[in-house]
Amino acid sequence: MPASSPAGPAHPLPIRVMHWVGAAAILCMIFSGITIYNASPSLPFSFPSWMMLGSWLAGGIAWHISAMWVLFVDGVAYLAYGVISGHFRRDIRLPSPGAVSRDMAAALRGRLRHRIGHYNAVQRALYAGVLTAIYVAVATGLSIWKPVQFIWLSGLFGGYPLARNAHLGCMFAIAAFVILHVVLVAIYPRTLVAMLAPVRAEPEESTP
């Protein structure tokens, strides 16, 4: 399952650009969301102040709503490209539970080979999961941002309070993915080069 056409680069230019624009927007959303969260009057816990983008409530909201437009445009472009080019169907299609447990077992034994331009079943499950969490965060975000206009949307999530909890839950899921993702990239630094420059895909070994 090449991440691009077999003759082309491992990650086509649009994917590389949209990945980095989206990653920057997501980091802004996480850290400005933390500023908004910390401003609530009664909290079970609060995040340390160095994690707060915008440093106070109005600043946090300004960052959150500005980065939202970047994420929104990037997300729509990525969705359109992924569907039209066949990238989602080819590279990020949901793997079977058997393939995930087989690749996970191989990874834990240090036997999972990584070929540039090919995603294993664990990666595919993680990428599909984080993309779903991002799109749910956008939908719940819209429903709590404009609760009157998007009342039907918050209704889908069980009402405003549940939509707000789901929004915070998505943030935790996305943040957990990002930590694991960056650790895996550090273990396989060659993949980073291919996400920055037009590196050729390696031949595929076997299809999980």
Q: What residue ranges bind ligand HEM (CB under 6 A)?
A: 3, 15, 19, 23, 26-27, 29-30, 33-34, 36-37, 40, 64, 68, 71-72, 91, 127, 130-131, 134, 137-138, 141-142, 144-145, 164, 167-168, 171, 174, 178, 181-182, 185, 191-192, 194-195
Nearer CB in complex with ligand HEM: 121/134: 134
Nearer CB in complex with ligand HEM: 72/102: 72
Query: How many Å apart are CA 73 and CA 48, to the nearest integer?
Result: 30
Closest distance to ligand HEM from the beta carbon of 4 (Å) = 9
Judged by DSSP in three states, 114 sits in coil
Closest distance to ligand HEM from the beta carbon of 87 (Å) = 6
Nearer CB in complex with ligand HEM: 102/127: 127
Tell me which residue has tokens 């993680």: 126
Query: In a 10 Å sphere around its CB, with 0-12 CB exposed, 13-18 middle and 19+ buried, how is residue 187 labelled?
Result: exposed
Nearer CB in complex with ligand HEM: 112/134: 134
Query: How many Å apart are CA 89 and CA 93, to the nearest integer?
Result: 5
**Residue 25 vs residues 9, 65, 96, 118, 200: alpha-carbon distances, Å:** 25, 11, 31, 25, 27
Closest distance to ligand HEM from the beta carbon of 157 (Å) = 13
